[in-house]
Every structure is written in C-alpha cells, then in structure tokens.
C-alpha cells in the first residue's frame, strides 16, 4: 500500500494546479490520469475548438477579402489536413506542458491509468492501492449520448471524435444548438460543409435572452447554416452511405439526411466508474458529486473540483475551484464558490461574452432595473473593421447603481465583457465607469456611453 498526503484523480483544470501547490507545501502527492494530461480543455474542448474557430475565421475573412479591397486570385479553399495539424500542434504544446510539469514536480508521483475508490481514503490504480489523507476528484465530464432510437447503430461523432477529423464532412448534422454545437457548426460551415443544427428547445442557446438567441440564429443562417428549432429527434438510421435523422417538429414528422452526425446535446460526469459507492461519496441523480460551497464532499477528506461537481462547466470555474480549495487548505483564506459571478463566452463569430444576470433573470427577480443596449453597427471600431453584427446590453440595479449583468454579442465581446465583470467584483456603482475615459477607437469606449444612456427596464 502506497501512502500519500494527497491523491488527485484527473488532470483537468484544477488537479495539476493543486498538485503544484500541495507539493510546493511539502506534501507527498499522487496524481492519476487515465488518458490525456490536461483533460477536456486542452485536448477535446477549449483549446482545439478555438484553434479550429481561428482557422474557420481565416477562411471566412479570406472569402470577404474583397470587402476590404484585397484581391485573392482564385477561390478560397481549406486544407483540412493542415487545419487538423495546426490544431494538434497547439493542443499538443499544452498537453505536453501539463504532463512535463507533473512528471518533473518534486514530491509528486504520476500514475497513468484509471483510478477507482476502494474506500473513503483508498484508491486502486494500475494494480496498486494508494491511501491518501486527502483525496481530490477532478475527473470532468464527457459527451452525453442520449438513448435516441437507432443512434447506437449509426456512426456518430462527439466533441472528442471530432478531434480526429482531417477531411471535410459534406453535410454535418449537429444535434444540439447550444455552446458546443454552435461553435462546431459555424466552423465547419466556414470550412465548406453543409451544416444543419437541430435543437429541441424553441430557440438556440435557450438559456440566453431571446434577443441574443435571435441574433445568433440570424448570423448563422446568413452564413447558410440550416437551423431547426423546436425539433425533437425521434430516430436515426443509416441510409446507404448517409445518415437520416427523423425529426418531429410542430406535430409533423420529417427527416434530415446528411453524411456525418455530431452529438452535442450535453455532458455527463465521469463518475459512473469511479467506485464512489465504495467510499460513500454522494452524487445527485445525474451523477454529479455533491459538494458544499468549499467543494468538500459528504465524506471528510474528499473534495470534488471542476465540472464533476456540477457547480460549473468551464475551464475558469474549474480553475477557480482549485483556487478556492487551495485558499482554504493552505492559505487560511476562507474562500467560497458562492463568491464568483457567472461569466462565460460563446466562441461563434462574433462571440458572445456574458456576465451576471440575463435580462430575463432580472425581470423575473422583480427588482427595479435600468437597461442600455447598443447595436454593433453604431460602434465605430466594429464599423471600421467591417464586423458589425450583434449588440451589447448592460443591466443595472436602479437603486444601488450596481451592474447586474451584461451580454456582449459582437466584435471582441469575449474580451470586452471583462470591463463590466471586474467592475461587478469591485461592487462599484456604474456612475464611476460612466465617467471613465476609455480609449478611442475601441469597442470598450462605448461602455461609459451606454451607462450614460440607461433607461428603466419596462
């Protein structure tokens, strides 16, 4: 039996950082990874998809070169093998960096295999039994493949297998019109595929405000993506070398026939084969590990960090989990996940940056609020760059003047959102930013302007 002060299962976005802090504090640490170092973000999530999105943007801009007075002789074509090679190279750098940093970390032993609990402080891996005074679970999630009739008999792709594609799917059908599905949909459309998105909800990215959903659907359709909403997939079947997806929409049955099928309808936690029952660790009905606000499970000495605890689904929430756990355990700094403000981005082009409450949430809360909206067409930087799709929206509490939230769908929306996010953390009234002098010409210069134009939310 190998004894450790701490065992970390999974090398997602919190495990490796915590391993470094614990080893740095003199603890004897074991890290266990069954597949790729760096987990989803580095290998099958953020990094590779944003690399693909960048290639797709280059293709799109090249096709629009004439708009800028630039001539490209001949049609624009995309070399999918080169696109994949670039993506692999970028992701590979990050994966190897995580692996190297752990394998060269003093006081850290790395195991490369599947880990399973044998008891509350006991883990089996590679034929060994490890005991740890503290155990940190960072096992992440994987694509949810629903029990749609016929799906298991038809070749289908997930965000993971999409990473192996080095050719252009003639017609990609995407099940799921939310964050993961839409990024792939737009990228592959720009590479040259015909793309159909099928979404069960009445609109794309249904947890966003209606105006955001509408605008996103609008620019995706403008690029030639077929968008089906309010559409339930009731079956899938192979038709010679094609895939037919049977869809029920407004009481009518129809089918979409394509060449490739991407399933992007959600995630499920990697907790089903982790032996949690042997350790008595509680999960919710979907398998997410139940934790308190400091990420402790119901079993003393065991924490769950990252997507598997259901308290976040992003790289930054997972990394923040590490910060919360490290602060509480090593720095005598009582931090909690309830201190964080909702923030994320959708990396379509233009991107959506989001912080805090949506307009719908503010309305539902009933609190008196102010709102300001500006079309990107009225933002000079966007106009100059010829990228005027989208709009920005900010919501403010009428009485305190505190910013409640914002949705920035437009050029650099994923970056500009931080102007209000940091302000929200500072808990400063909007009137301070309203008087700030921002740099011209930028998208951010319009934030003070918007704050000077707040109207009551009707």
Query: Which residues are at the interface with ligand FAD (CB under 6 A)?
Result: 9-14, 32-36, 39-41, 45-46, 49, 114-115, 138-141, 159, 180, 270, 274, 306-308, 313-316, 318, 347
State which residue, 159 or 388, has the beta carbon closest to ligand FAD. Answer: 159
* Nearer to ligand FAD (CB atom), residue 11 or residue 419: 11
- In degrees and rounded to multiples of 5, residue 322 shows phi and psi of -55, -45
Pick 136 or 391: Cβ nearer ligand FAD: 136
Residue 132 CB, shortest distance to ligand FAD, in Å, is 14
Dihedral angle, C-alpha 237, 239, 244, 246, nearest 10 °? -60
In the numeric block, the tokens 């192979």 are attached to 238
Contact present, 413 and 350 (Cβ < 8 Å): yes
Query: DSSP characters for 403-450?
Result: EEEEEEESTTHHHHHHHHHHHHHHT-BHHHHHT----SSSSTTHHHHH
Q: CB nearer to ligand FAD: give 9 or 198.
A: 9
As measured in angstroms, the least distance from the Cβ of 278 to ligand FAD is 13
Tell me whether residue 112 or residue 237 sits nearer to ligand FAD (CB atom).
Answer: 112
Position closest to ligand FAD via CB: 140
Q: Return d(Cα 24, Cα 338) in angstroms, integer.
A: 27
Instruction: Report, in Å, the least distance between residue 451 CB and ligand FAD.
Output: 27
Q: How far is the CB of 254 from ligand FAD (least distance, A)?
A: 28
225 and 184 in contact (C-beta within 8 Å)? Answer: no
Residue (13 or 121) nearer to ligand FAD, CB:
13
With left for phi above 0 and alpha for psi between -120 and 50, is residue 408 left, alpha or beta? beta
Contact 387, 350 (CB under 8 A): yes
Would you say 120 and 301 are in contact if contact means Cβ atoms under 8 Å apart? yes
Contact between 30 and 7 (Cβ < 8 Å): yes
d(CA 92, CA 95): 5
Q: Please, what is the minimum distance in Å from the beta carbon of residue 456 to ligand FAD?
A: 34
Nearest approach in angstroms of CB 381 to ligand FAD is 23
> Taking the complex as a whole, how short is the minimal distance between the CB of residue 347 and ligand FAD, in angstroms?
6
CB 316, min distance to ligand FAD, A: 5
Whichever of 269 and 405 has its CB closer to ligand FAD, that residue is: 269
On whether the CB atoms of residues 451 and 396 are closer than 8 A, the answer is yes
Dist. CA 256–CA 194, nearest whole Å: 12
Closer to ligand FAD by CB, 138 or 444: give it: 138
């Amino acid at each position: 039996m190998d004894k450790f002060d701490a065992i970390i299962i999974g090398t997602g976005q919190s495990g490796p950082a915590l391993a470094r802090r614990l080893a740095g504090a003199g603890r004897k640490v074991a890290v266990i990874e069954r597949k790729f170092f760096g987990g989803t973000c580095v290998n099958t999530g953020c990094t590779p998809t944003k690399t693909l999105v960048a290639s797709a943007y280059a293709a799109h801009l090249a096709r629009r070169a004439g708009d800028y007075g630039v001539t490209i002789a001949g049609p624009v074509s995309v070399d999918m093998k080169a696109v994949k090679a670039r993506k692999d190279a970028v992701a590979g750098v990050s994966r190897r960096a995580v692996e190297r940093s752990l394998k060269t970390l003093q006081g850290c032993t790395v195991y490369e295999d599947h880990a399973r609990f044998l008891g509350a402080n006991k883990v089996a891996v590679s034929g060994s039994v490890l005991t740890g005074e503290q155990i940190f679970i960072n096992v992440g999630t994987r694509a949810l493949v629903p029990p749609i009739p016929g799906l298991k008999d038809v070749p289908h792709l997930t965000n993971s297998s999409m990473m192996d594609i080095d050719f252009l799917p003639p017609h990609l059908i995407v099940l799921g019109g939310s964050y993961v599905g839409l990024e792939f949909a737009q990228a592959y459309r720009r590479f040259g595929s015909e793309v159909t998105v099928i979404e069960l909800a009445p609109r794309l990215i249904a947890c966003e405000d209606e105006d955001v959903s509408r605008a996103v659907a609008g620019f995706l359709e403008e690029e030639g993506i077929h968008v089906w909403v309010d559409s339930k997939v009731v079956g899938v079947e192979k038709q010679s070398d094609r895939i037919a997806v049977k869809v029920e929409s407004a009481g009518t049955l129809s089918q979409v026939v394509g060449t490739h099928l991407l399933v992007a309808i959600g995630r499920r936690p990697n907790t089903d084969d982790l032996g949690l029952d042997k350790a008595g660790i509680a999960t919710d009905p979907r398998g997410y590990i139940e934790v308190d606000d400091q990420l402790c499970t119901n079993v003393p000495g065991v924490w769950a960090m990252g997507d598997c605890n259901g308290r976040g689904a992003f790289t930054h929430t997972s990394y923040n989990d590490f910060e919360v756990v490290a602060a509480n355990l090593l720095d005598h700094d009582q931090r909690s996940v309830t201190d964080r403000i909702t923030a994320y981005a959708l990396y379509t082009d233009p991107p959506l940056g989001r912080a805090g409450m949506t307009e719908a949430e503010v309305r539902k809360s009933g609190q008196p609020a102010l709102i300001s909206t500006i079309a990107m067409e009225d933002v000079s930087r966007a106009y100059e760059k010829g990228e005027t799709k989208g709009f920005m929206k900010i919501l403010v509490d009428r009485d305190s003047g505190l910013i409640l939230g914002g949705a920035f769908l437009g050029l650099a929306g994923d970056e500009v959102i931080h102007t209000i996010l940091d302000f929200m953390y500072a808990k400063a009234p909007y009137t301070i930013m309203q008087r700030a002098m921002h740099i011209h010409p930028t998208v951010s210069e319009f934030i003070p302007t918007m704050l000077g134009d707040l109207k009551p939310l009707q």
